[in-house]
Amino acid sequence: MPLKRTRFRAPAAAGAATALAALAVLAGGALTGCSADSDDSLAYASDYAAHEPLRVVGYPSRGSLDVVQKAVWRLADGDAEALADLAAEKGDAAEPTARNWVKAFGAAAKGEVTADFYDEGSTRQVVVLYFAGSGQVKEIEARVGEDDAWAVTMNEPDPSDASAKPTWAPPKPGGTGSRSSAR
C-alpha cells in the first residue's frame, strides 16, 4: 500500500517569525559588507576615479605603491593634513613637511606623475617622483612605519629642503638606476 503524504499548514505567526529571521540574516550579511575593508575599497575607488593615474617604473611592493599613490593623491588634493597622516614618524616634522610638499608640488601633482621605484621593496623603497607638467623631480622614501604599515618619511620642515631636486636622480623616469631600466 503506497504511503500518503499529508501537508500541514504552518500557523501564520510561525511564517512571520521565519520571515523576520530571514530578514535579520540578510540585513546582518549586508551590514557585514559595510566593514572597514569595504570603506577602504570605496575610498580607494573614489580616489582613483578622481585623480590622474600614477605612472610606475621599477618594481614597487604592494605597500610601497599604495602609500606613494596616496601621497600623490593628497598632494593633488592640497590636503597637507591627510598627507601628514601618511608619515612614518608622527613627530614635529611631519606637518610642516606635508605643508611644504603641498606648496611645492601640489599643483603639479594634479597632472601626469611618474613614480620611479628603486631597490627592492620588502621594508623600504626610494622613489623618485617626476611631475611632467612642471618638470619638477622629488625624491621620497616609502617604508614600513612604526605600526608595521607602509608610510612615507617626512623630515623636511625647511621649505628649501622639501622642494630640492635630488642630485643623483636621472633626468627622466627609467634612467640609470631603477631596476626596470637594467632589463
Residues 6+ apart with CB under 8 A from 39: none
In this prediction, residue 87 carries a pLDDT of: 95
**Sign of the alpha-carbon torsion through 72, 77, 82, 83:** positive
Domains of the chain, residue spans: 53-182
- At position 51, the amino acid (one-letter code) is H
User: What pTM was estimated for this model as a whole?
Assistant: 0.75
Which of the residues in the chain have pLDDT under 50? 19-33, 180-183
179 CB neighbour count, 10 Å cutoff: 15
User: Looking at residue 39, what is its pLDDT?
Assistant: 76
Q: CA–CA separation, 66 vs 144, rounded Å? A: 12
Between the two ends of the chain, the Cα-to-Cα distance in Å is 82
User: Residue-wise over 70-104: b if at least 16 C-beta within 10 A, else e?
Assistant: bbbbbbbbeebebbbebbbeeeebbbbbbbbbbeb
Is the CATH number 3.40.50 carried by domain 53-182? no
